[in-house]
Every structure is written in C-alpha cells, then in structure tokens.
Amino acid sequence: MLAKIATENTLPFNVREPNAETAAALEACRRGDVVNFNSVEDLMADLNADD
C-alpha cells in the first residue's frame, strides 16, 4: 500500500471530501451547535465532570 501511495503520489481516498460524520460535525459547527470553552482547564473540567 505504501509503495502504491509513493508511486502514484496520492492517497487511496479523497481527503477533500469529508465522510458523513465529519460533514455533520462541520455543519453543526457552522450552525453554532457546539460547546465552547475559554481554556483547556475548562474543557478538562467538563470532560472529567462525571468521574
């Protein structure tokens, strides 16, 4: 596989076309349906809140 990638100088998939999950995440971001944090500490506190 790596030899083919090196020979053809391309990846075996289109990196400019997101999969369905990534496309949905990008759309949610565009709509503003995401959670924002002011710092890494705030993010980590939220991630660890259920611990």
d(CA 40, CA 21): 24
Task: Give the number of other CB atoms < 10 A from CB of residue 18.
Answer: 13
Residue partners of 26: CB distance under 8 A and separation at least 6: 18
Question: In tens digits, what is the pLDDT along the chain, a chain of 51 residues?
Answer: 888 889 999 888 888 899 999 999 999 999 999 999 999 999 999 999 986
* pTM for this predicted structure: 0.53
pLDDT, residue 13, reads 84
Q: Which tokens go with 31? A: 């709509």
Phi, psi of 50 (to 5 degrees): -85, 0
